[in-house]
Amino acid sequence: MRQRGVVLHHEHRIGFVIIRDEFGNNTVVKLLTGSDIERGDVISGFLHGEGDETLHNETQDISFEVHIQGHGLSEEATILMIQKAH
C-alpha cells in the first residue's frame, strides 16, 4: 500500500532523508539517486517497504531511488539511527 509523507530533514552528509507519514511515524531512507529533496516536500510511495524502492516527490514531480533504512520509527529511534550512521 502506498503512503504519503512530508520530509522533515535531509542529512546531506550521509544522504539520509527523514519522512513523517500520515500516521505520525518516521521513515528513514538513504538516497540512491537525486539529492534535491527539501524539507516540506510531499513524498509518496511504499514508505513502509524494505530495501530499495522508487518514491515520488509530489512537490517537485520527480521520482527517485532510495534504500529504506527503517520505518514506523519514533522520533527517538530516528535520531539514534541517524547518529549510528555517522
Asked if residue 51 has pLDDT above 80, the reply is yes
Range of the domain at 16: 3-85
Segment 56-86, tens digit of pLDDT: 999 999 999 999 999 999 999 999 999 988 7
Q: Burial letters for 18-56: b for 16+ Cβ neighbours within 10 Å, e otherwise?
A: bbbbeeebbbbbbbeeeeebeeebebebebbbeeebebb
Give me the pLDDT at residue 34, please.
Answer: 81
In this structure, what C-alpha cell is assigned to residue 51? Answer: 530495501
Q: Whats the size of the chain, residue-wise?
A: 86
| pTM for this prediction | 0.93
Choose between 14 and 86: higher pLDDT: 14
**Which pLDDT does position 35 carry in this prediction?**
79
Q: What does the longest C-alpha to C-alpha distance in the chain come to? A: 31
Residue 45 has pLDDT above 90, yes or no: yes
Q: What are phi and psi of 54, to 5 degrees?
A: -105, 120
Given a cut of 80, whether residue 43 has pLDDT beyond it is yes
Q: Looking at the 3D structure of the chain, how many domains does it have? A: 1
